[in-house]
Amino acid sequence: MLKVKNITFAYKKTEVLKNISFEVGSGEHFAIIGESGSGKSTLLKLLYGTYDLNDGHMFWKDKEILGPKHNLIIGPEYMKFVAQEFDLMPFITVGENIGAFLSNFYPNEKQERIDELLEVVELTAYKHILVKDLSGGQKQRVALARSVAKQPEILLLDEPFSHIDNFKKQSLRRRLFRYLKENKITCIVATHDRDDVLSFSDTMMVLHDAEIIASGTPQELYNNPKNKLVAAFFGEFNVLDSKELVYAHQLKRVENSNLKALVKHSYFKGHCYLIEVNLDGELVFFEHDKMLKAGLEISLSIMK
């Protein structure tokens, strides 16, 4: 179990994280979300022991995680961190990078392990290519494979699929998170992509203004988003009557209702159209299976 108790941290004067507490069970997947600059990367760096805390404590299985004041080498043995700026060795091959931290004592086992991980990140064909000749997304996949090579107990991932294109992202995400679950690796992921969270995180928290503004399971936060920032993370939403948060897919066009709206624009979204309407002077969005012409008067109803 990872236990974070009342931690506070500032690079300079302003506190970037204030009184943060949470727990993550062994083998569980935990997501940290929040806007850019909300302190996600800082929190991962603190968990890795990169900086000394101003206040509070962190424990992994009753061992305290300590900063550089107490450690010569940053990063505990049992932990791996894939930072936003992944540093690979450019002049050796993909396979050699993935195996960089593995012992040469059992060369056959080492190669088998490298091959297994190449499959997880779908880079088998690139084993003998120099890392310097890879694209940004391919490098990110090498960094992910290398991070699990030595079976860490905890893996910290900072926006792990940010450089990977949409063609590859979905399958890679499923493979990697499945691999971590099967190998009971505890995973803390900082992300602004809801697809990293919805299907793969056991619990999550939302950072804003240095504090936790929401936490729970993805289902709990999705079904009861309490504030705009949480709703915005999950998708297109509206604030009705200046209080009720309603996702675009929860508004439907009906024959007649007292929610009258004027169509402004239809955006093609693939599986539906996102229709922008004017409702009592407010811009509101809802999902519809057909395009609607600008100027059309319609009635809407909330279906939760």
Q: Which residues bind ligand ADP (CB under 6 A)?
A: 11, 16, 34, 36-42
Nearest approach, Cβ of 81 to Mg ion (angstroms)?
A: 12
Nearest approach, Cβ of 36 to ligand ADP (angstroms)?
A: 4
Strands 297-302 and 154-158: unpaired
Judged by CB, which is closer to Mg ion: 208, or 264?
208
Phi, psi of 111 (to 5 degrees): -65, -40
Evaluate the CA torsion angle 152, 154, 160, 161 in order and state its sign.
Answer: positive
Q: How far apart are CA 46 and CA 191, in angstroms?
A: 16
Nearest approach, Cβ of 128 to ligand ADP (angstroms)?
A: 35
Residue 41 sits in the site that holds Mg ion (CB under 5 A): yes
CB 50 within 8 A of CB 57: no
* Cβ-based neighbours of 192, under 8 Å, separated by 6 or more: 33, 34, 35, 36, 159, 233
Q: Which stretch binds Mg ion (CB under 5 A): 33-41, 86-94, 131-139, 212-220?
A: 33-41
Residue 191 sits in the site that holds Mg ion (CB under 5 A): no
Residue with tokens 């941290």: 9
Chain centre to alpha carbon of residue 121: 17
Q: How far apart are CA 170 and CA 165, in angstroms?
A: 9
Nearest of 58, 80, 84 to residue 191 by alpha carbon:
84
Judged by CB, which is closer to ligand ADP: 42, or 203?
42
Residue 95, contacted partner among Mg ion, ligand ADP, none, CB below 5-8 A by kind: none
Judged by CB, which is closer to ligand ADP: 102, or 210?
210
Nearest approach, Cβ of 16 to ligand ADP (angstroms)?
A: 4
Residue 18, contacted partner among ligand ADP, Mg ion, none, CB below 5-8 A by kind: none
Residue 39, contacted partner among ligand ADP, Mg ion, none, CB below 5-8 A by kind: ligand ADP
Nearest approach, Cβ of 39 to ligand ADP (angstroms)?
A: 4
Judged by CB, which is closer to ligand ADP: 112, or 209?
209
Q: Which stretch binds Mg ion (CB under 5 A): 36-44, 114-122, 138-146, 164-172?
A: 36-44
Judged by CB, which is closer to ligand ADP: 95, or 160?
160
Which tokens belong to 15?
A: 């506190």
Residue 130 DSSP one-character state: B
Nearest of 292, 290, 240 to residue 264 by alpha carbon:
292
Judged by CB, which is closer to ligand ADP: 12, or 290?
12
Nearest approach, Cβ of 253 to ligand ADP (angstroms)?
A: 38
Q: For residue 90, what are the CA distances in angstroms to 66, 111, 125, 162, 213?
A: 31, 20, 17, 20, 40
Judged by CB, which is closer to Mg ion: 74, or 283?
74
Nearest approach, Cβ of 12 to Mg ion (angstroms)?
A: 18
Report the interface residues with Mg ion, using CB under 5 A. Answer: 40-41
